[in-house]
Amino acid sequence: QKEVEQDPGPLSVPEGAIVSLNCTYSNSAFQYFMWYRQYSRKGPELLMYTYSSGNKEDGRFTAQVDKSSKYISLFIRDSQPSDSATYLCAAVTGTASKLTFGTGTRLQVTL
Amino acid sequence: GAVVSQHPSRVICKSGTSVKIECRSLDFQATTMFWYRQFPKQSLMLMATSNEGSKATYEQGVEKDKFLINHASLTLSTLTVTSAHPEDSSFYICSARVDSRAETQYFGPGTRLLVL
């Protein structure tokens, strides 16, 4: 079992839709969680990070962590074609620890 | 923001040759750099962690004699794929960390290696 599981998609939504991207994890030692966006043939770009359970909002993006169920989510409001990319969740046990990535979910936002 | 560059962006080589990939932190000093490999439609797999001035720490299953890592300065790390074979064809991504916090890890644009 992978430590961080993520549905690879692809997920196709119309422009303006609310997107929900999800990951589950098995390692209870994970304390910090990140979401990265990766465009095709590019390196990942950090979107959001969170240290605790609950919600964290940044513009159109909301990250949600539920440590009791080991479930993390990223919501994208008013999705745009420019949001089309692969979204990777990642977790670390300690802030200086190595990142453990999910497989990524490919998102396609259509006009 | 912090910028990490990689060179070359893509390389094609013959089987048996060696290829060097450079990773530079352009506007900050990075005591720690990381090398990842990503196969199509798969996630990033950490290959090794590199600290300036010391030997790299390789992940289990990564051959240190095949993937040579040198972190000679606070802004430059290199990955050399020695005696490359077609199965080494992949997308190699480096990252550099500004400080000890995980969220300060910035990724390069990646290098696509094709071994013929």
pLDDT along chain B (116 residues), means of 10: 92 97 95 92 91 90 95 92 96 93 92 97
The answer to whether the CB atoms of A43 and B100 lie below 8 A apart is no
Residues A90, B38, A5, B58, Cα dihedral to 10°: -70
Q: Does B81 touch chain A (CB under 8 A)?
A: no
pLDDT at A24: 96
Q: Considering only residues 82 to 111 of chain B, which have any Cβ-Cβ distance to chain A shorter than 8 Å?
A: 91, 93, 95, 100-103, 105-110
Residues in chain B within 8 Å Cβ distance of A106: 41
How confident is the model at residue B102, as a pLDDT? 86
Tokens of A68: 């009791």
List, for residues A54-108, the tens digit of each pLDDT value: 899 999 999 999 999 999 999 999 999 999 999 999 999 987 788 999 999 999 9
What does the pLDDT read at residue B101?
Answer: 86
**Cβ-defined contact of A95 to B100 (cutoff 8 Å):** yes
Phi-psi region of A31 (alpha: psi -120 to 50; beta: other; left: phi over 0): alpha
CB A38 within 8 A of CB A21: no
Predicted confidence at residue B52, as pLDDT, reads: 84
Residue A28's pLDDT is 92
Distance CA A98, CA B104 (A): 12
Taking alpha carbons only, the member of A65, A82, A83 closest to residue A22 is: A65
Q: pLDDT tens for residues A6-63?
A: 988 899 999 999 999 999 999 999 999 999 999 988 999 999 999 888 899 999 999 9
- Residue of chain B minimizing CA distance to A9: B41
The pLDDT of residue A111 is 92
d(CA A64, CA B5): 31
C-alpha–C-alpha distance, residues A19 and A74, integer Å: 8
Q: Please indicate whether, in this complex, the C-beta atoms of B4 and A43 are within 8 angstroms of each other.
A: yes
**To the nearest whole angstrom, how far is the Cα of B81 from the nearest Cα of chain A?**
19
